[in-house]
Amino acid sequence: MIDFTAMILTVGPELWLVAIALIGVLVGATLKDRFNSVSIKFGALALFAAAAFSLMNYEGGEAFNGLVRTNTFVNFAKFVSYVLAGFALLTSEGFLKRHGTIRYEYSLLILLASFGMGMILSAADLMTLYMGVETLSLSSYVLAAFHRDSAKASEAGLKYFVLGALASGMLLYGASLVYGFSGSTEYAVIAAADPSIGMMFGMVLMIVGLAFKVSAAPMHIWTPDVYEGAPTPVVAFFASAPKMASMVVFANVMFTMFGDVIDQWQLIICIIAGLSMIVGSLGALTQTNIKRLLGYSSIANMGYALVAVAAGPELGAGPLLVFLTLYVIASLGLFMGVLAMRRKGGMVEGINELGGLMRKRPVLAIALSILIFSMAGLPPFGGFFGKWEVLSAGVEAGLMPVVIILVLASVVSLGYYLRLIKIMWFDEPTERFEAVDGPVTITVLLAALIAGILFLFFISALSGWAGTAALGLAG
Amino acid sequence: MAVIAFYLIAAVVLVSALSVIMARNPVHSVLWLILAFFSSAGLLVLIGAEFLAMLLVVVYVGAVAVLFLFVVMMLDVDFVELKRGTLRYWPFAVLVGIIFAAEIVLASVIGTADMETNFDASPGAETNAEAIGQVMYTQYLLLFQMAGIILLVAMVGAIVLTLRHRPETKRQNIAKQTSRRRSDAYELKDPTPGQGI
């Protein structure tokens, strides 16, 4: 019979989100345009509630005949992803209103994408994984092209769709090979199966598909274009919540399904990580569009995260959570910063237009500087500790070459991070900025506060939580 | 015999799948795609999954036929050029037709009797359809519902990206139509002869 308690314990937040989304469809169909503005707050509230929900059932469980299984490792990721998705949704209202594209479907799509995130995190079966990936990706494609009258947004949506479909195909093909050679789609059975050549072949294809979803090189080509073309609030969402979720899923798949054959995939992940770091840090050097620049920076950061994945479940799981949490907070904050800068006739997107921000909007400039320093991994700020954890995990696992690349890439990436700081603090002011709406500024300040000061109070606690969360993986 | 049938049909699947991406004409691509689906259905029959085979034909070949129509309507295909080629390509068309027919015959004659497979196509049930029916809404309930959600996302997405409300288009207002009285529609005038209204 259907065990409702187990269902709530395991995928409670997801069931809640999908129920809210379905109610949203009905309410939207009745209220039409009157629902637009309300739906955003409503959706954000639902996401925060889902985050609370995932903390309430932190230990997780198993339901639907083993199709989903959660533990502390994924519930930690769920919590962070839902909170960030909630902030990304809450702050999008002003931007959409100004562009005249505010429609309640936006919040529905964010809710459904978050549902997909939750499902891939909860998946304990290849079929659940694939269905969740598709829910997340399809919603993302539509969100990327949400400004359908803008040529760039349409291009971003189309590019994302075509390449994403290819990656989904790879993932599916890999999954079918793994299924064919192991005889089951369940993670646990696959982990226990005899690792044959065919299964390894499937594993590599699955790595390719998942690497695309987290935008790691050489499957990163779509990232800068999509980040540049898609509406900024959508990019803020892409760069935070799904990044966290996809990366943790990547780790979860490698750790639980292929945990015993780590010697087969460690080198592959190392190469992907190294390439991502090199491509990300060198590619960003020449960018003049701030969204593109942040796109490349996210590729590099995914490379750092993959070092933690390559370090294996015992060493890497905890640092991965710490690093990702601090990274996605800074990433969301930076995109909120982009969202907060508006001049006459449009958004500020070229990095030279940031000139003299310090003199015009000192608070924003200081907040952004803290976030940039945190992302660059300079010592007094949050990002440093995340990077440090990853670094030490890599060293302990004996992955020296990739650790050296990590350090070098960090130094190179300082080049463009410091250029942003220099333009903000020392260049001549260009144009007057216009006032922006409250939630965006608050989010920037909040993220800066967390990355700059508050993390000091909870960094040891965070490492502790992440450490215990990672234990859930083993159990 | 079954092994020969398998290799024959599998070869057709591979060749036609390759041709889907190699063909210059999109219409030809779609035709190759249909052949690939059809041959895959043949493979499914060989392993005893006849329900899935029929489903594949009904859903994919049926849906692809519609897709084919869309391609013809939407793409800039030069029909004169296409028609001129028709006669030239008849041996090819006949070949495809023969392959179709041969596959059906092969699959139905050989059936499942001596096919060695490493799994049971109808576990715990008499027929394939029964086996699927037993697990679809029970064991795989979650996946079934998720498929529904994905379709909902697709629908919402299509509406978001394409629906435009145009104020200038005239729409039918049924309430207005049915509440119309005779007096709203016409009135009687009594014009004096020679003066008009």
Which of A120, A128, A131 would you mutate first to test chain B, the one with the most B CBs within 10 A?
A131
The per-residue pLDDT for A287 is 87
When mean pLDDT is compared across A203-207, A409-413, B102-106, the lowest value belongs to B102-106
The per-residue pLDDT for B184 is 80
Report whether A267 contacts A191 (CB < 8 A): no
Structure tokens at A75: 């519930």
Q: What is the share, in percent, of chain A residues with pLDDT greater than 70?
A: 95
Whole-structure pTM value:
0.86
The per-residue pLDDT for A45 is 94
Partners of A399 in beta bridges:
none
Partners of A289 in beta bridges:
A350
Q: What is the share, in percent, of chain B residues with pLDDT greater than 70?
A: 81
A109 — contact with chain B (CB < 8 Å)? Answer: yes
**Residue A63, helix vs strand vs coil:** strand
- Cβ pair A141:B157 closer than 8 A: yes
Task: For residue B141, give the nearest of A64, A112, A131 by CB distance.
Answer: A64
- Cβ pair A115:B149 closer than 8 A: yes
A310 pLDDT above the threshold of 70: yes
**Residue B136, helix vs strand vs coil:** helix
pLDDT band for A118, please (50, 70, 90 cuts): very high
Interatomic CA distance for residues A112 and A21, integer angstroms: 7
B79 pLDDT above the threshold of 70: no
pLDDT tens string B146-196: 999 999 999 999 998 888 877 777 778 888 888 888 888 888 888 888 777
Average pLDDT over residues A455-468: 71
Average pLDDT over residues A356-376: 85
Closest residue by Cα to residue A66 from A25, A144, A127, A131? A127
Interatomic CA distance for residues A113 and A122, integer angstroms: 14
pLDDT tens string A222-261: 999 999 989 989 999 999 999 999 999 999 999 988 888 8
The per-residue pLDDT for B126 is 77
How far does Cα A439 stand from its chain's mean position?
21
From B26's Cα to the closest Cα of chain A, the distance in A is: 17
ipTM: 0.90
Q: Across all residues in chain A, what is the average pLDDT?
A: 87
The per-residue pLDDT for B84 is 63
Structure tokens at B191: 């014009």
- Cβ pair B157:A135 closer than 8 A: no
Average pLDDT over residues B141-150: 93
The per-residue pLDDT for B122 is 72
The per-residue pLDDT for A21 is 94
Q: Across all residues in chain B, what is the average pLDDT?
A: 79
The per-residue pLDDT for B115 is 47
Report whether B160 contacts A28 (CB < 8 A): no
Structure tokens at B15: 């060749």
Closest residue by Cα to residue A110 from A242, A252, A205? A242
Cα–Cα distances (Å) from B164 to A97, B73, B138, B158, in that order, read 18, 22, 41, 11
Structure tokens at A313: 């479940």
A139 pLDDT above the threshold of 50: yes
